[in-house]
Amino acid sequence: MPRIFLPLGENPRIVHIAGENARYLLTVLRCREGEELEILDGRGLCYSTKIVSLTRKEVIAEVSGVTPRNTESGINLILAQGLLKGEKMDLVVQKTTELGVKEIIPVVTERSQVRETRKTGRWKKIASDASRQCGRTAIPVIREPVPYHSLFSVNSEYNPCLGKCKGLLFWEERGMKMKELRDRLGECMTMIIAVGPEGGFTEAEAKLAESGGFLIASLGNRILRAETAAISATAIVQLLFGDLG
């Protein structure tokens, strides 16, 4: 069934859909009058509707019912991803969205080959499309790129030392196995995981993370590509602490 994200007011009976959502329904999905459409409001409600009118600029749908829907993970999972080249970052945003991350923070590290970007808008669209495709009820927040060290400032909401979250930094040089970390971390509601760019994190960056309350984690004996590491780390954390499995 076609599905879109669209913020809605209180108890709508008729929904007017314009802009990119209308173009998506008309040109990509080729929807027709009488076809059913699900509208997710981003706050956990799913509106069942039927398309009653289509023009080139607007789709009008009539609401037939509304039900709560929650496909979000029980863990508030934040990915701090070292900026990647080309389409690798696109892939990470898409796949980790499907796996349930709530927030993605692109970070500029010592070995980042990309140090500034204007792709945040593109990544937001990729996250929105991926959320719609996999049936999520919320779209991840995509932050503007920040310097790596800013994650550990005394004012940073992501600093585990403040007690608001727990943190893992995945590093190929050393680190605890995930089974050990499961016992060490126990139950957690919010976790930030850090994955490096091409070339990984430096020793100094790993030590900075440790001083900031992060635990160093290993993904095994093989060195993974940065994009593979991000997707694998997200899946493993969701399996151990979230809603996979």
pLDDT lower than 70: segments of the chain: none
Which residues of the chain form CATH 3.40.1280.10?
Answer: 76-241
Mean pLDDT of the chain: 91
Which residues of the chain form CATH 2.40.240.20?
Answer: 3-68
pLDDT of residue 65: 92
pLDDT of residue 199: 92
pLDDT of residue 224: 93
pLDDT of residue 49: 95
Q: Closest Cα to residue 97, out of 219, 24, 5?
A: 5
- Return the CATH architecture of domain 76-241: 3-Layer(aba) Sandwich (3.40)
pLDDT of residue 11: 82
pLDDT of residue 115: 86
Q: Which CATH class is domain 3-68?
A: mainly beta
